[in-house]
Amino acid sequence: MALSPEESFKRVVSHAKEYGFVFQSSEIYDGLAAVYDYGQNGVLLKNNIKNFWWRAMVQLNDNVVGLDSAIFMHPTVWKASGHVDAFNDPLIDNKDSKKRYRADVLLEEHAEKLRQKAEKEIEKAAIRFGDSFDADLYRTTNPRVVGYLESADLVMARYVAAMEAEDLDAVRQIILDEKITCPVSGSSQWTEVRQFNLMFATKMGSVAEGASDLYLRPETAQGIFVNFLNVYKTGRMKIPFGIAQIGKAFRNEIVARQFIFRMREFEQMEMQFFVKPGSEMEWYEHWKQARLRWHLALGFNASHYRYHDHDKLAHYANAAADIEFEFPFGFKEIEGIHSRTDFDLSRHSEFSGKKQQVFDPETNENFTPYVVETSIGLDRMFLSVLSQSLEEEALADGSSRTVLRLPHALAPTQAAILPLMKKDGLPELAQSIHGDLKFDFQVAFDEKDAIGKRYRRQDAIGTPLCITIDHQSLEDGTVTIRDRDSMEQKRVHRDELHLIIREIASMESLLRKV
């Protein structure tokens, strides 16, 4: 029987814990809200995702280079970037449940519900009218459908207008007008809307001697901007070029209830691509497509991804879109692609007094490059991969198995070496095969329990291949390999193992699909 979205999300969370992927931070002290640790399998999967991104960005694009900047930055960086003044979320509390929400999220979810109602009407009509049904026509002419869609658009248009006018009362009024209630208490007793800055502050140096206030960076991008000229000059770069970086970011999120989807400490993979003003839309389109291709290379169904063009642009952007992924709790942002104009570099020029410009030999003039950014959350990516891969498969004999159908190259271990028995020299032979493979692949060795149980254990952590060593292996050097997905087994010679694993589970084979 199909699980409800809540049940399937719960399964993902408990599977992540049971198999050493993700643990609550400081769990023995009852945990720390919205902070998580990655376990023995989680860290391997996470590193593989990082590696897939890094190599797709830095290795496959000869005009993109890497960077690793510090988490602490000069406090003026965050004034220049606008984060001190404008990195806020509008929050609202429900007086009955005492639960806190992001006002923008309440409105977006409400608009999405209206759109879903319209889709349901269209689906019903399609069944009623059969083959002659014209969905596009119905969408634009049926009064009820048109009503839902118009209401959804109106909610978002009112929200955008209210935020642009910095009118938080107006934001609250939309929530009241739309009769949006608290999902917990069901009541519409709302407080007023307030702005809440998401940056964590800390101090550097001894407090007594006039320590300076610092922030934990809320995004990695600013580390790239302030190093733009360093990389440009020392790397002898030419516009257009990009700088990519992976690193921790910190946000004091108002609502943090969706496991590793929204964390207070998380990791970002960001790339800032510096272009000539006027060419930014071309590059924006280029990266929008390129980034979706990267996602699709993983082989999950394309219907799980969609673009969402922003209704309300951030103060620095002239175009922005999200790539959304269908999580168990619905379509949500996994990555943002933003055309940021010259906002950041100009602001850093202004605040530092040092021009962030390059020379254009064609026009003999200096100019400030425009920037197209791609920004993806590593943890969200991890969650998308985990939730898409987890499956409870019904087997022909009436039993079932839990299998994590991870894209092969991302699996924590590419292969497990399993001696059929713990005697007759089988473990020794298995060890020698393990010793051969471990220099090239992450391979596991498991000799505990019956072989069926060991296969199930490897299925549950997504190991693409199990290599079993039996008595015949002692005689002729052959082993059986079992495929995680089909569970089919075949005999191959141990000398072929390198090639076989490389073909199905190497990062190179995945990168070729990007």
Which of 342/373 has CB closer to ligand ATP?
373
Give 338 or 457: the residue with its C-beta nearer to ligand ATP. 338
Residue with smaller CB distance to ligand ATP, 283 or 455: 283
**Cross-sheet strand order for the sheet of 330-341:** 64-67, 241-250, 265-275, 370-377, 330-341, 319-327, 305-309
The least CB distance from residue 162 to ligand ATP, in Å, is 17
User: Is 67 or 263 the residue whose CB approaches ligand ATP more closely?
Assistant: 263
Size of the chain in residues: 514
Residue of 109, 112, 121, 333 interacting with ligand ATP (CB under 6 A):
333
| Separation of alpha carbons 8 and 381, rounded Å | 17
Compute the least distance from the CB of residue 406 to ligand ATP, in Å: 19
> Residue 480 in contact with residue 497, Cβ under 8 Å?
no
DSSP per residue over 281-347, as a string?
A: HHHHHHHHHHHHHHHHTT-S-GGGEEEEE-SS--TT-SEEEEEEEEETTEEEEEEEEEEEETHHHHH
Residues 224-253 as x/- pattern, contact with ligand ATP by CB under 6 A = ---------------------------x-x
Would you say 338 or 482 has its CB closer to ligand ATP?
338
Q: What angle do CA 55, 409, 499 make, to 5 degrees?
A: 105
Q: How many other C-beta atoms lie within 10 A of the C-beta of residue 1?
A: 4
Stretch that binds ligand ATP, among 57-65, 92-100, 124-132, 332-340 (CB under 6 A): 332-340
Q: Which part of the chain contacts ligand ATP (CB under 6 A), choosing from 12-20, 333-341, 364-372, 477-485? A: 333-341
CB of 367 to ligand ATP, least distance (A): 26
Would you list the DSSP string of 127-194? HHHGGG--HHHHHHH-HHHHHHHHHHHHHHHHHHHHHHTT-HHHHHHHHHHTT---TTT----B---E
Least distance in Å: CB of 104 to ligand ATP?
8
Residue 7 CB, nearest distance to ligand ATP (Å)? Answer: 23
Structure token digits, residue 159: 């929200």
Binding status of residue 334 toward ligand ATP by CB under 6 A: yes
CB of 102 to ligand ATP, least distance (A): 8
| CB closer to ligand ATP out of 96 and 253 | 253
**Residue whose token pair is 């990695």:** 220
Residue 114 corresponds to which tokens in the numbers above? Answer: 């209206």
Kind plus residue range of the DSSP H or E element containing 378: helix 378-389
Sorted by sequence, the CB contacts under 8 Å of residue 378 that are 6+ apart come out as: 46, 49, 50, 53, 246, 266, 267, 268, 269
Smallest distance, ligand ATP to C-beta of residue 313, A: 12
Of positions 280, 335, 446, 459, contacts ligand ATP by CB under 6 A: 335
Residue number, 246 or 420, with CB nearest to ligand ATP: 246
SS3 23: strand
Instruction: Tell me 411's DSSP state.
Output: S
482 DSSP β-pair partners: 466, 489
Residue with CB nearest ligand ATP? 377
| Interaction residues for ligand ATP, span 197-226 (CB under 6 A) | 219
Smallest distance, Å, CB 252 to ligand ATP?
A: 9
Cβ at position 323, least distance to ligand ATP in Å:
8
Between 37 and 496, whose beta carbon lies closer to ligand ATP? 37
Beta carbon nearer to ligand ATP, 228 or 259: 259
Cβ of 348: how many Cβ atoms within 10 Å?
Answer: 23
The correct pick among 223, 247, 328, 336 for binding ligand ATP (CB under 6 A) is 336
Interface size with ligand ATP, residues (CB under 6 A): 16
Half-sphere exposure of 354 (CA within 13 A, CB side): 8
Restricting to residues 128-157, which ones interact with ligand ATP according to CB under 6 A?
none
Residues 344-403 that bind ligand ATP (CB under 6 A): 375-377, 379-380
Question: Shortest distance, CB of residue 139 to ligand ATP, whole angstroms?
Answer: 28
Please identify, using beta-carbon distances, which residue of 148 and 294 lies nearer to ligand ATP: 294
Beta strands 212-215; 365-367: pairing state? unpaired
Nearer to ligand ATP, 155 or 376 (CB): 376
Distance of closest approach, residue 284 Cβ to ligand ATP, in angstroms: 15
| Nearest residue (CB) to ligand ATP, 97 versus 258 | 258
| Partners of 403 in beta bridges | 391
* Euclidean distance between CA atoms 492 and 477, whole angstroms: 9
Contact present, 242 and 61 (Cβ < 8 Å): yes
Footprint of ligand ATP on 251-310 (CB under 6 A)? 251, 253, 262-263, 266, 268
Contact positions toward ligand ATP, by CB under 6 A? 219, 251, 253, 262-263, 266, 268, 333-336, 375-377, 379-380
